[in-house]
Structures are given as structure tokens and as C-alpha cells.
A and B are shown apart, each in its own frame.
Chain A
């Protein structure tokens, strides 16, 4: 982890501004800069302000904390920065956030996020006993099951995430996959906690989850959320986590290739565009599997948004912003910008593969008054509908 070293490196940013763009420079691709437009909200602005704070040239303020926490850690800057330190930028921001957390100087909304996870094991302050309320009898994981389905907080408590989880469970059952869930024993994965800089709580969550996986003899985990996939793949191993991991789109794509998912032959005519989740795409290079699933469905025409794959524009939900909502309240909010971009493709459906993206973009489509023109669906929901038609 580079975040401990951030203080000795962060002055290296030249504020050249490449971080604001996608590869073709066609528009601004940094969500918080696109939203607020002051240079202080760009990656360069943020790094210069953090350095100023470290040097004592500016004092901590709520405004400074807000600037720091409006970064969604989408990693566009990492993709575009021309400097050798580019891979470390997000770690630097997380490092600065960790220092702020240690000093107790964080935005109130972020503090409430932490309090909720401390107290309830999820950021929504929902009861632990309700964590499996969505599950409708879904079997709990038992030794011998091939997969543990890790549902996560959004899949467990958020209305859109729950629909997504139910769809996935139905598909896995219909495909004969041996799996189970943890139900009320599941802990928050900690991805957002990590990105928000609460390293102590993050470690605690990792240890609890890892212990549970070990006790149950879990060897393979499939995650509903790209956020959980990311932290389990890239952070858990440092704490001893040892298991095979896949995101559900990887598993479903594999099942389709092996002809284990039987789709309805009823002809569907859908023009669809796909939104890359940052934690699948830029973080973990998973761009093809979700598209392969969609392209395997007869009658679906997949059209790309102008910004796609490594240039995809973040929905604004990362780093806990799906709860803290620090980028909301404007037509320039990232999710609304992205909803308009999806609509401009002429698609009637916006497909996602992430519960955070699903809820952010569903709300954005409503805010843009496009909800009767553009349906937002997770890939599992799209597949489930085709199963249902059988």
C-alpha cells in the first residue's frame, strides 16, 4: 500500500490537467471536476491542496474535507496521468483521508457512514437481522457448496440491489450452480470504508469476513458487487484472505459459454448500452464478460456510449458517494451526465453490472425525466427476464 508514503510523494503532481480528460480529450471525465468545475475539485487541485495542508499552508476546513471526499476514486486520473506515479494517485488520496480520519476531521456525512457501519454493519443503519430479508429462502452457504455468493450491503438492503440479488439467485438456481449466502452473518466488504480512509474499521471487517470464510471452508466466492470484488481481490490477500474470486458477470458468462443458462427463444428487440463500473473496469480490467453476456442474447443490439471501457464516465457512486451523495444536487451531477449520455445513444435500456451504478443511474434517469424512455437494468435482471419468459 502506497498511502503511507503519500506525504513524501504528493508534491510530484504538476497540475498538468491530463487527469480531467478521457483518452480522446472529448470532454471532462473526472466526476467531481465535471460536477463543480473549480480546478480545486480536480485531481491536480486535490493533490496540491493536500500538499498545502501537509505543509501547513492551509488549515483543515469542512470545505477542504468536502473537496477531498468528492473524489469517487474512479481511477480516471490514474488512467490518464502521464507521470510515473500515476498508479499511486488513488492511494495518495486514500492516505490523506486516513490522516483526516485519525484526526477526526471528516465531513459529517462521511462520519455518519462510518457510524452506521460501526453500529449496524452496513451504511444504511439497517438491522443486521434484516440482512437476508431480500433472500426469500435462499439457501445459506454450507461446507461443500461450490460458491459463496457474497451479496454485500447494497444487495442486502437497497431496493434496487435486492432486485439484482434476487435475479442472480434465480439464474444460479436455474443453472444448477451449487452456492449459498451468508445471510445475517455477512459483514460489509469494506471497500468503501477503505476508500474513505478508515483503515482500522476496514481491517476489522476484513478479519471478520476472512474468519467467517475460513470457518466455513469457503474456496470460491462470487460477488454481486464490483466493489466487493475489488477489495476482496486486491486488499484481502494482504490480510491472509485465500480463495478463488469472481464477479457474477464472469460466472454467468462462463455458464452461458457452457450452455448452462437456457434463454428463452422468444424474440426480443432491445437496443441497449452498457455502463462500465469503475471497480470492474479500470480497477480490474473486466470489460469483455459483461458485453459478451449481452451480445449472447438474441435480438439485443449493443451500442456503446462515447465514453466506454477505460474511458467510461463514473456514475459518481464510488467511495461511498452512493450514500454520502456529495456530488448530488445538480444537472452536472455525474450520474445525470451519464444518464444523458446513455440516452443520446438511442438505447432504450441502460445495462449495468453493479448495485451502486444501478441505484445511482436509476435515480438519475428519474431526475432527468427519462424514466419512460430509458430503463436502467442490471445484467442479472435482463437475463432473469429472459429466463422467466421460458
Chain B
């Protein structure tokens, strides 16, 4: 077995000394994320530039049985890239090339470090008729990491999870081979991640880097209309929200449906803000869509259960921005630099129960809360965030926020939800509840792909 110093030298040989650090400062920063999971330091932080360098690092790690944790920007907040057993954190952000945009087949191929912000800007500049689904995460979030965690964003109401929008993968397997997944495995085109072939993308998406390191990703692009608008409705009865979401989805013309709730400022308390985003190439198209949305909810207006909130351009601008800076701002509500959310994926009928639980738990633990529910697919499910802000200088409040999150996650699971980007403890909860044969299958897959167990150990570990 190599000494730490020899391992460092080997890594330097692969990527150059400017892109390897074993210094305390990098180990400290890469040991944690902005959430509440306990930190654990890596031994090295390494920034590869090419897939070949990733292969060499993985082969070295395999020989030496050293853990490898691929990392985008670490914004999941649930500690998914905290190196639970040390080893090497691979910061992928130097692999930052946008390799191809196929306008006619509407996809883009990016390297693993390309951020949502850079991709958005690139498409606006060079391919203004195309767009991708932008999550609410800050623009530094990487496209690959967001797909790996099954993120969602604008367009999810129409097209599902961001991982559903993947159109091909290039992966370094845990044993070092470079492998292509989807149409790109037999063709120069990246239009499909699976069909009509066996869909092998499921071996990597949702596995949090425990089965390989994605080095390239094809992503579906969608028409970018010239105009966007938001229609904002207010309701005060949680039990009506699922049907409102369904009715909006029934129009088949809404880009995104988001429902938010928070107790402050006071004008927000007791109301649900229902946001329907629409797009159009002309005023006539937008007006037509406004009328459709209006008609879909007309019965609720007549009964005075839902109201329309007229919004000024100044009020609309932050709501229309992609990503929304307001998401990050929640971290400073208590002037404390922290927030985290449990975000189960669940049937939309659970909205009233989840809201009730959120308010109960916030009161019980005396923490500030907010919630955002996003419709995924045509009413197939929603992501419901139980969000709590906390002050990083207040350890007691951090502990209370963590307890509140844990209680919400357990509740959501009991109610039939499935925890999204589950932390290592939540993964155990999920696996305890999982069909035993599914667990056996996961274990076999993991053992087959990663015989030495070097990939992001601690995550999706089936005992």
C-alpha cells in the first residue's frame, strides 16, 4: 500500500501539482456542505481536466483501495459528497466544456463540470431558440450532479425529473473503463439515454456517484419561447391545492407549477401562493394561455376559494428569474447562513398533510420554515420541501433544525413519499422499507460495478 505522500505524488503526476491539494484548508472546505450533515475530511482534493485523468485516478484508487467521491458544487445540502471515509474528492468543475449542441435533435452534450449558469448563458447567446430545465439551485450547480440526484426545475411539469431529460452518458466505471450509455454507444448522436437499447442509465442516475463517475452527459433541450409570464394565485385551503395543481396540469400548456408557503412576512401567513408559468411566441399566444389557465380555475374563483394576485413587473422579475435568487436568500432569514430541506417526492394528494406536519414541526422545534411544492409530470407526483433555516452560529438552533428535518422525513416516508437526495441516514430508512429483493438487486449491481467499494462509500450501502 502506498504512503500518503506517494499517493499525493501519483495524483500530481496525473493532473499536475496545481490541481491536487492535501492542505488543511481545502480538506476543511470539501469536508462539508451548506447543510447539517456532520463533516468528514478527504485526504486529497483533486481537479481532473479530462476523462483520461479521471480514469487514471480511479485505477490508482482501485489499486490502493482509496475512496473516490465525485463532486459538482455540493449543493444537495444532504452531505452526498461529504467523503464519509476520506480518500479523494474529485472536484469536477474543471471539466467545463460544452461539447455539442444539436439544434435539430434538440440536445446538448456537456462535460461533468458545466454549470447550469454557464449552460443557460451559452444557450441564450448561441442558440436562443433552445433552453434547458433550470433548477432552483444556484447557477454554480452542475448539470451532471443535478441529473444524478434526480433534480427538478422549470419544465418539470411538462417533462419530468431532470434525469428524465438525460439523453446519453459517458461514464468512468469504478474499475476505470470508459463507457458510453444510450444512443451515443452505437452512434455519434446523443439523442437517447436508453431506448431502443436496454436503458443502462439507471445504473448511474440516482446512485450519487457510487457506481461510476459521469464525465459527459447529453441533455435534452426544449423550445425557448420568446416570452414568459407568471400567473399568481392565492388560496387559503390546503385541501384544495392538489386539485388546483391537477387542473393547471390538465391545460397541458403550463411550463411549471409551484406552490409556496411561509409564515413571514405576515402577508404570506395562512396563504398558499400558486404560481403558474406560461410561455409564448406572441402576445396572442400568451393571452390565449392566460385564458386557459383562468378557465381551468374559474370554479374556484367563483367560489372565492382562489384569488388572482395582480403583480407589478418589479414583483414578477424575481419570480421569473432562473435560477431564483430567493431560494438562496432563505439561508439568511435568521441572519445565519444556513438552511436545509427534506424534499420527499410524493403524490400531490399529500400536500395538505405535509403542510400540516410542517407547521406542527416548526412550532415544536421553534424553527423558521418555508415550503415549496413543485409539480412533476402531469400530476404524477410533486417535490414537497420541508425547509428550515438556521443560524450557523447557533448550535442549538442547528440541532433543532436537524431534528425537525428528521421528523419530517420519517413522516413523509410513512405517508408513502420517497425521500429525495436522501442523506446517509435517510438512505438507511429507505432501504429498511424497501422490497428485500430490490435491495438484493442493488447490492448485486454495486458489487458487480465496484468490487472494491471505493465509490462514495457510505452511500447506498446495502448490508
Given A14-B34, A18-B325, A82-B329 in contact, is the A63-B336 Cβ separation under 8 Å? no
Is the CB–CB distance between B23 and A63 below 8 Å? yes
A12, A38, A40, A59: most-surrounded residue (chain B CB, <10 A) = A38
Determine whether B147 belongs to the interface, using a CB cutoff of 8 Å to chain A: no
Stretch at the interface among B114-122, B244-252, B358-366, B414-422: B114-122
Contacts of A39 in B (CB 8 A): 29-30, 73-74, 91
- For B116, the chain A residues whose CB sits under 8 A away are 25
Instruction: Give complex CA distance A8, B394 in Å.
Output: 12
In the complex, whether A11 has a CB less than 8 A from a CB of chain B is yes
| With A24-B121, A38-B45, A83-B329 as contacts: A49 and B28 at CB distance below 8 Å | yes
Cross-chain contact A26 with B339 (CB below 8 angstroms): no
Indicate if the CB atoms of B25 and A63 lie closer than 8 Å. yes
Report Cα–Cα, A18/B393, bound state, in Å.
22
Report if B332 contacts A (CB, 8 A). yes
Partner of B18, one of A21, A24, A51, A330: A330
Asked if B47 and A37 make an inter-chain contact with CB atoms under 8 angstroms apart, the answer reads yes
A–B pairs, 12, beta carbons within 8 Å: A11-B337, A12-B392, A14-B328, A14-B338, A15-B33, A16-B138, A17-B140, A25-B115, A40-B26, A61-B23, A61-B24, A82-B325
B residues 106-141 in Cβ contact with A at 8 Å: 115-118, 120-122, 124-125, 138-140
In the bound complex, residues from chain A placing their C-beta under 8 Å from that of B158 are none
Which residue in chain B gives the minimum CB-CB distance to A13?
B337
Number of CB contacts from chain A to chain B under 8 A: 111
Task: List the B residue with the shortest CB-CB distance to A64.
Answer: B25
- A49 / chain B contacts, CB cutoff of 8 Å: 25, 28-29
Q: Mark A1-37, 1 if CB is under 8 A from B, else 0.
A: 0000000110111111110110011110000000011
Q: What 14 new A-B contacts, CB under 8 Å, besides A27-B118, A63-B23, A83-B329?
A: A8-B393, A9-B335, A11-B337, A12-B392, A14-B337, A16-B328, A17-B73, A18-B140, A25-B121, A36-B18, A58-B25, A67-B25, A82-B328, A85-B332
Bound CA–CA A84/B332 (angstroms): 8
In the complex, the answer to whether A14 meets B91 with C-beta atoms within 8 Å is no
Chain A residues near B (Cβ < 8 Å): 8-9, 11-18, 20-21, 24-27, 36-40, 45, 48-49, 51-52, 57-59, 61, 63-64, 67, 82-85, 330
- Picked from B21, B115, B339, the residue with its CB within 8 Å of the CB of A14 is B339
Q: Check if B301 is an interface residue, CB within 8 A of chain A.
A: no
A40 engages B138 (CB within 8 Å): no
CB–CB B47/A16 < 8 A: no
Q: Which residues of A contact B138 (CB under 8 A)?
A: 16-18
Cβ of B19 under 8 Å from chain A: yes
Residues of A within 8 A of B120 (CB): 25
Q: Is the CB of B45 within 8 A of A58?
A: no
User: Which residues from chain A contact B45 at a C-beta distance below 8 Å?
Assistant: 38
For A37, the chain B residues whose CB sits under 8 A away are 19, 47, 91, 93-94
B392 CB contacts on chain A under 8 angstroms: 11-12, 51
Bound-state Cα–Cα, A49 to B30, Å: 11
Q: Quick check: is B331 within 8 A (CB to CB) of the other chain?
A: yes
Q: Give the one of B21, B34, B140, B331 with max A CB within 10 A.
A: B140
Separation of A27 and B393 alpha carbons in the complex (Å): 32
Report how far A17 CA is from B121 CA in the complex, Å.
16
Q: Report the Cα distance A12→B339, complex, angstroms.
A: 11
Rounded to whole Å, the gap between the CB of A372 and the closest CB of chain B is: 29
Find residues 1-60 in chain B having any chain A CB closer than 8 Å to their own CB.
18-19, 21, 23-26, 28-30, 33-34, 45, 47
**In chain B, what residue has the closest Cβ to A9?**
B335
Residues of A within 8 A of B30 (CB): 39
B140–A38 CB distance below 8 A: no
* B271 contacts the other chain (CB 8 A): no
Q: Which of B28, B118, B336 contacts A26 (CB 8 A)?
A: B118
